[in-house]
Structure 1
Amino acid sequence: MKKKIGYIFVNIEDELPEFPVAMWDFNQCDPKKCSGRKLARLKLVKPLKVKQRFQGIVLTPTGEKCISPNDREIVETKGIAVVDCSWARIDETPIAALKPVHGRLLPFLVAANPINYGRPFQLSCVEAIAATMYITGFKKLANFYLNKFSWGHSFIALNKELLDIYANCIDSKSVVAEQNKYIEEEQRKQLTSKNAQPDFPSSASDSDSD
C-alpha cells in the first residue's frame, strides 16, 4: 500500500520523511557513481530545476550559517535540498543563482563515499542529506537514506563522535565552536605523534560559517 508523502509516493511500511527532500542536479557527476541520481531513481529525492526555488534548508557552499539542531523546525516543515555537482567544477557551477532562503553549510565531517573516502568536507549528496538529518534530530531517517548504499554505514561509523557532538549543540555558533575545538585537538595529537604530519584544515573562524 502506498501514499504520497511530500514529493514522493512510498510504501507506508517504510520510515520515510514527511518533509520534502530535493536536489538540483548540474549533470557534472558520473551517473553510475552519483548518489543523488540513485536517490532520485529510488524516488527518495525530487530533482529541481535550476531556477526552481526551495523554501527549506539548502546545503550549499554559499551558505552563511552552519546547519545545527536549531534548524529542526525548518527541516520538519519545509525540508532539505542539496546541490549535486562535481567538487572539481564547483567554481563554474551557478550555485549563486539558487538564492536559497535558508542556505546552510555542513560542519567538518569526513567523506565515506568511494570517490572521496577520508577527505574532509567533500561529501556526496546522500552523506550531506544524512548529516543534516542526523544533526537536526532525524537519526533513523539518516540511516535509512545511507542504507541504500553498500558503503553508507561507513559514513556514520567514521563520523559518529562528531555527529553526536553537533547534534547536542544549540545553534550554528556552538556547532562551529565544537568543530574548531575538535580540529585543534586532532592537530595537537598529530603534531605530538612521532613523524606525524597534520592533515586537518585550519580552524574555522568564530563566525557562523565554517
Structure 2
Amino acid sequence: MENLTENIEKLEVNSSESDDESSSDSSSSEEEMQPNFQVAMWDFNQCDPRKCSGRKLARLKLIKSLKIKQKFPGLVLTPIAEKCVSPADRDVVTTKGIAVVDCSWARIDETPLAALKPSHGRLLPFLVAANPINYGKPFQLSCVEAIAATMYITGFKKEAKFYLNKFTWGHSFIELNEEILEVYSNCTDSVSVVEEQKKYIEKEQQLQRDRQKSRDFPSSSDSSDSSDSSDSD
C-alpha cells in the first residue's frame, strides 16, 4: 500500500539519512504550543542514534527517557495494545501524558514489549510515515510522528506541530495525513476510529483501482487522434 494517495507521489521531502538539528520554521509560534503534559519513551537501543527522532527529542529535552521496566501511568503507544487512540483518551493524556516505545521496526518481534504492562496501551490507526527512512509506508511511524499523531487525535494539534517542527521534514507528516487525522480527531471513541480507518482505506484502494484503469485504457481523445492520423496517410 505504498504511495497510497496522490499526495504521497506529489509531496517532496528531505531524503537525507540524518536529521537536521535545527527546527523547521514552517509554522509560526501562534500555530504551535509546548505541551503541559509529560512525554516519555523507552529506548531499546535498536536504532541508529543519528537517525532516531526519539534521541533527538531527548537531546532537546522534549522527552523523558524511561528505564526498560519502569512503569508509565499515561497513554502508552505499543503495537501489542488492543485499542486505538481516540479523542476519548484526551483526559488520560492531559493528566498522565504520552509514552512511546523507541525500537526498530525490523526487530519488533524480539522487543520485550509485554514487560511494559501499560494501564492505557494504545495502537495508532492507519497513518502514512513522512520520515526519510520509512517515507510513504503505512503504520511505520517514527517516535515523533507517533507522538504527534496521538496529540493531534486527542485534540492537541498545536502541541503536535510543536514537536514535528523540530524536524525539517516534520511538516510533511501533517500534509500527508491531514485529511484522515481530522477524521480521527472528530471521532468519539476507539471503535469509531477503527470504523473510519476502514472507510478511508477502502476509499483510497478504490481510487488506486480507478487510476490503474485510466492508465490501462486510452482516453477517447487519444483514440480520435489515432484515427485522424491514419486517415491522413
On whether the aligned pair clears a TM of 0.5, the verdict is yes
Aligned counterparts of 2:168 and 2:205: Cα–Cα separation in 1: 31
Which runs of at least 4 in structure 1 moved beyond 6 Å after TM superposition?
none
Equivalent residues of 2:40, 2:99 under 8 A apart: yes
Aligned counterparts of 1:143 and 1:190: Cα–Cα separation in 2: 30
Aligned counterparts of 2:172 and 2:47: Cα–Cα separation in 1: 21
Equivalent residues of 2:33, 2:161 under 8 A apart: no
Equivalent residues of 2:144, 2:164 under 8 A apart: yes
Query: Which structure has the highest strand share of the two?
Result: 1
Cα RMSD (Å)? 1.4
* Structure 2: gaps (5+ residues): 1-31, 215-233
1:92 lines up with 2:113 in the alignment: no
1:164 lines up with 2:182 in the alignment: yes
Deviation per CA, 1:91-140, whole angstroms, max 9, x where unpaired? Answer: 00001100000000000000000000000000000000000000000000
The equivalent of 2:221 in structure 1 is none
Question: In the alignment, which of 45, 48, 55 is matched to residue 66 of structure 2?
Answer: 48
1:119 lines up with 2:114 in the alignment: no
Bigger Rg, which one: 2
- 3-state SS of the aligned residue for 2:212? coil
1:16 lines up with 2:34 in the alignment: yes
- 3-state SS of the aligned residue for 2:79? coil
- 3-state SS of the aligned residue for 1:61? coil
CA deviation after TM superposition for structure 1 residue 195, in Å: 5.4
CA deviation after TM superposition for structure 1 residue 191, in Å: 1.8
Q: Which structure's relative contact order is higher, taking Cα pairs within 8 Å and 6+ residues apart?
A: 2
Q: Aligned letter for 2:152? A: Y
- 3-state SS of the aligned residue for 1:65? coil
The equivalent of 1:185 in structure 2 is 203
Aligned counterparts of 1:194 and 1:85: Cα–Cα separation in 2: 36
Aligned counterparts of 2:116 and 2:152: Cα–Cα separation in 1: 24
Q: Aligned letter for 1:111? A: A
The equivalent of 2:56 in structure 1 is 38
Query: Quick one: percent identity of the two aligned structures?
Result: 76
* Structure 1: gaps (5+ residues): 1-13, 197-210
- 3-state SS of the aligned residue for 1:23? strand
CA deviation after TM superposition for structure 1 residue 193, in Å: 2.4
Q: Aligned letter for 1:98? A: L
The equivalent of 2:212 in structure 1 is 194
CA deviation after TM superposition for structure 1 residue 194, in Å: 2.8
The equivalent of 1:104 in structure 2 is 122
Deviation per CA, 1:67-98, whole angstroms, max 9, x where unpaired? Answer: 00000000000000000000000000001100
Normalised by the length of structure 1, the TM-score is 0.85
- 3-state SS of the aligned residue for 1:103? strand
Aligned counterparts of 1:79 and 1:117: Cα–Cα separation in 2: 27
Aligned counterparts of 1:35 and 1:18: Cα–Cα separation in 2: 20
Aligned counterparts of 1:89 and 1:71: Cα–Cα separation in 2: 28
